[in-house]
Each structure stands twice: as C-alpha cells, then as structure tokens.
Amino acid sequence: MRALLLTLGALLAGCGGGSVAAPASAPAPADGAGWKLVWSDEFDGPAGSAPNPAHWHSNLGNREADGWGNHELQYYTPAPRNAFLDGQGRLVIRAEKVADAGPCWNGRPCGYTSARLVTEGRVRYTYGKVEARIRVPAGQGIWPAFWSLGEGLPWPHAGEIDIMEYVGQTPATIYGTLHGPGYSGAQSLNQPHPLGAPVADDFHVFTVIKRPHEIIWLMDGVEYHRLTPARLPAGGSWVFERPFFLILNLAIGGDWPGPPDERTVFPAQMTVDWVRIYEEQR
C-alpha cells in the first residue's frame, strides 16, 4: 500500500491549476482510453477493526461544527460501533439512536451517533476517476454521502464535489452535485438520477471522472451528469483545478432530508465495499 500512496503522490505532484475557459472541442468520452489504479481501500481486516488510519480519520461532533452547516441531528464519533470493518472486505458506517449522543447545534442533546470519515492529509487526487461501491440505508431522514472537498480554502471557495448523495424521502433517486463560489447550498448545480427502483435494495458503483475543466458523474457505469466552466451561472467561479480529499459519511436529519420519523429503522448502516482512485491513460 505504501507503494500505491507514493505513486499517487507522484501523480498529484504534476497536477496544477489552469484557466477557466471552456473546452474548445467536444468533450471526451466518459470512459477514456484506459485507467490505471493508483490507490484503493478494499477494507480488508478483522471484523470490528477500525478503518485504516493511513487512509482515514474521523470528523467529530455536531455543535462544535454548527450542525455541519445543515442543522443535522447526528453526533459524529470515532467509536468502533459507528465505523468498523465487517471482516468480509467491507466498511460499515452505522448510525444509532442514542438518548444523549452529544450536544447538537440547537442546544439540545443529539439523538443519534454516526461517523464521518475523511482522507484529508492522507489521500488526495487532482484528476482521475474516483469511485466506490456502496449500499445505502433506506428511511426518512437518512442522508448518506460519498463526496470530495478541495484543499486549502474555506467552503465553498475550495469547491465541493458530491459524487453521491441519497435522501430517504426520494428512495429511487441519487444526486450528483457541484458547489463553488456563486453556486453553493440551495443554488448548487444539482442533478437527480432516478433509478426506477429503490436505491437501498442493492450495492451500486458511484463514480466521478475529474479532468481539467470537466467533471462527469456516473452510476453503475452510466453517465448522468457532466459540467464544465461554460455551464456555471453568471458570476460563478470554477475552482476545481486543485487537489481534493474524500469523505464518507452517514448523516441523520438536516435541512434537506428532514428528521427521521417513526418508520425509520435504527441502527441504519451504510456499507462500502471499496473505494478506488485511477489515473487516466491516453
């Protein structure tokens, strides 16, 4: 694995920023000419063990982060019950209903614990294909996500790429979204992708391809969203020619999904089979 991380570092060292001009030619196919794996986490390890600390660390709390900007109801912990390997090559992020999980943004005790795992300071990418195979939990108020933040600047100036978001009240739809200066929060560039069947019924592969001046979203190998600087709203800035790190989390409640109801089942589990980063070969 150390060799993979060194390879990734060498790849990123040659990547830098660029202008925000739209591409002059037609966009390249999403699948490219080929891909070379440069980093992965296959989540191999004994049942109950923690995610690899060389790859992941935990964001913590709720009130300390002002409800994570969304008035969320979970308190993130580093506890093994909230993020652990299942012994079968998968990571489990578990949200549990707890009477007093920790202080929430509203001054009351949070009612849930969960986990938010990040690769900041450990693994990053600038360009390439980033994907994960995930099974999301179902239920009102459930909000799992696989996403990416830019380094070095405050949100939204460093950029946010939501590779996959799911909210329980739209059980057959996933969302791919871009946030940046002039198009963040409720004004983000959001694309729903309806499946025609409940997302939580099975594992799916969620992918982003990040090229200079272009970001492409796919689910199970099918493209459903593509953005370039030319598609930004007036006054928006393209801020994606920089390194990004990865985030896996399972939020409960918040401005978008709303709170859980009496039908929401806990514990709720987000199961991740693997996460991989590829370099494009041309």
131 is catalytic: no
Residue 50 — pLDDT band, cuts 50, 70, 90? very high
Q: What is the pTM of this model?
A: 0.89
Nearest to 213 by CA among 82, 25, 43: 25
Residue 30 — pLDDT band, cuts 50, 70, 90? confident
- Tell me the per-residue pLDDT of 86-135, one tens digit each, with 9 for 90 and over: 999 999 999 999 999 999 999 999 999 999 999 999 999 999 999 999 99
**What pLDDT does residue 29 have?**
66
Question: Is the confidence at residue 5, as pLDDT, over 60?
Answer: no
Q: Which residues, 6+ apart, have CB-to-CB distance to 96 below 8 Å?
A: 81, 82, 112, 113, 114, 266, 267
Question: Is the confidence at residue 33, as pLDDT, over 90?
Answer: no
| Peptide bond between residue 156 and the one before it cis (omega within 30 degrees of 0) | yes
160, 214, 241, 279: the catalytic one is 160
Q: Right CATH number for 2-15+34-280 from 3.20.20.70, 2.60.120.200, 3.40.50.2300, 1.10.3720.10?
A: 2.60.120.200
160 is catalytic: yes
Tokens representing 226 are: 């593509």
- Tell me the per-residue pLDDT of 154-173, one tens digit each, with 9 for 90 and over: 999 999 999 999 999 999 99
- The pLDDT of 29-45, averaged and rounded, is 88
- Alpha carbons 69 and 92: distance in angstroms, whole number: 24
The enclosing H or E element of 208 equals: strand 204-211
- Tell me the per-residue pLDDT of 191-228, one tens digit each, with 9 for 90 and over: 999 999 999 999 999 999 999 999 999 999 999 999 99
